[in-house]
Amino acid sequence: MSERIYLDYNATTPVDPRVLEKMLPYFTEVFGNAASNDHDFGLEAKRAVDNARAEIAKTMNARPDEIIFTSGATESDNIALLGVAEKYAHKGNHIITCVTEHKGILDCCQRLEEMGKQVTYLPVDEFGRVNPDDVRQAITPHTILISLMAANNEIGTIAPLAEIGTIAAENKTLFHTDATQAFGHIPLDVQAMNIHIMSISAHKLYGPKGIGALYRRRSSPRVQLSPVIYGGGHERGLRSGTLNVPGIVGFGEAARLARREMTVESARFHSWTEQIHGRLQMALGNVQLNGHPTERLPHNLNVSIPGLKARALIPQLKNIAIATGSACTSAKVEPSHVIEALGFGSERAHNAIRISVGRFTTDDQIETATERIIEVVRELRAINIITAP
Ligand SMILES: Cc1ncc(COP(=O)(O)O)c(C=O)c1O
């Protein structure tokens, strides 16, 4: 069997061996409860948590006491949206978001609407970008929160965060960003970008699954949130539950490594995604890029091959793991809401494939995978499973 090639780093990343090595002692040796400050076992665990908190804070230019550990970005999104909606109910009931957000945001917004809140879903342009002027115009005296993702998980488009942050600040509205795909991959500065609340997750940057964080600003302005989980009052009362110390240690190390390696890695990833795109374009003709040509995560490439459904192509690739732009619900295949939102019709969404590279990708893998995709598309075209463009 030929080597398996993983090109789905936007879905999740393997744990970096250096991260794992840091985590291991915290399962068996330093196993104390970080909240048990009566003895060394607990204090050692707390020190490790403090250290990780500082690393994560540093990576986004925040203060360590502004980091709340959660189980992942989905939970962080829930605390951000439900927490603001409840805490600021006396100020207003209107939230602004956008149509291409992750389910973690969209499903929370749906719940908020059921609870009587008003949600504005902004459209995006053909590259998947929200227009900052639309944000400005959507603000009403009742707006309490703008929640817009930092980088899209399907097409990689990066939002104009600093511009949106300025608009939020000018209008004294809170700004939350789901930065799950961006944190550790592109520079983020919560001060410079006027971000008040931010969701992140370790498993997108070579840390373990099941651990995430929420940045919550504590001054200018001091953001208040209602918790979603009640209990022992951990994490400043915002997220009760015994801390996942090994996960947190891993997250901290993953953030530290990302800070150190981001610039060099980004250049390598960008050259690979450009190479794949160029090669596919040359060999297959009209390949449509989904996402922004330049304001895009360097490790993401999402393209549609006209006439060829991703669901026909991907199984034929056998040992090459790439993603489709659609999701199977119980009854049928739903085209991606993100690619549909670009305005090119559902056909393009059904044809979308997402290729995402990462730290453990090699030149050879890029070469092999690209050639295999080209070969399979040609085979499928030849046997007329698809109509050529
Ligand atoms: C943009 C975005 N938000 C939220 C999530 C959910 O993150 P987690 O798996 O940590 O709950 C993801 C994961 O795919 C994501 O890409």
CATH number of 17-256: 3.40.640.10
List the domain boundaries for the chain: 5-11+262-382, 17-256
174: amino acid identity, one letter: L
Band of the pLDDT at 2, cuts 50, 70, 90?
Answer: confident
Has residue 58 got a pLDDT over 60? yes
The domains spanning 5-11+262-382 and 17-256 adopt the same CATH topology: no
Q: How far apart are CA 368 and CA 360, in angstroms?
A: 15
Query: Is residue 98 annotated as part of the catalytic site, yes or no?
Result: no
Close Cβ partners of 109 (under 8 Å, ≥ 6 residues apart): 81, 95, 97, 101, 119, 121
Q: Which residue, by CA, sits nearest to atom 14 of ligand 1?
A: 11
Tell me the per-residue pLDDT of 103-161, one tens digit each, with 9 for 90 and over: 999 999 999 999 999 999 999 999 999 999 999 999 999 999 999 999 999 999 999 99
Q: What is the DSSP letter of 157?
A: B
The H or E element spanning position 238 is none
C-alpha of 66 from chain center = 20
303: amino acid identity, one letter: V
Band of the pLDDT at 227, cuts 50, 70, 90?
Answer: very high
Q: How far apart are CA 163 and CA 340, in angstroms?
A: 25
- Positive or negative, the CA dihedral 83, 88, 92, 95 is negative
What's the 73 CA to ligand 1 centre distance in angstroms?
5
Band of the pLDDT at 183, cuts 50, 70, 90?
Answer: very high
What's the 271 CA to ligand 1 centre distance in angstroms?
25
Distances (CA, A) of 339 to 119, 181, 363, 370: 21, 17, 29, 22
CATH number of 5-11+262-382: 3.90.1150.10
Q: Which residue, by CA, sits nearest to atom 15 of ligand 1?
A: 180
Q: Edge to edge, what strands does the sheet with 288-289 contain?
A: 288-289, 300-304, 352-356, 323-324
Close Cβ partners of 380 (under 8 Å, ≥ 6 residues apart): 308, 312, 313, 316, 386
Counting ligand 1 atoms within 8 A of each CB, the residue from 10, 70, 180, 239 with the most, and so the one to mutate, is 180
* Average pLDDT of span 199-203: 98
Q: Which of 98, 108, 109, 328 is catalytic?
A: 328
Ligand 1 pocket, residues with Cβ under 6 angstroms: 72-74, 102, 104, 149, 153, 178, 180-181, 201, 212
% the chain with pLDDT above 90: 93
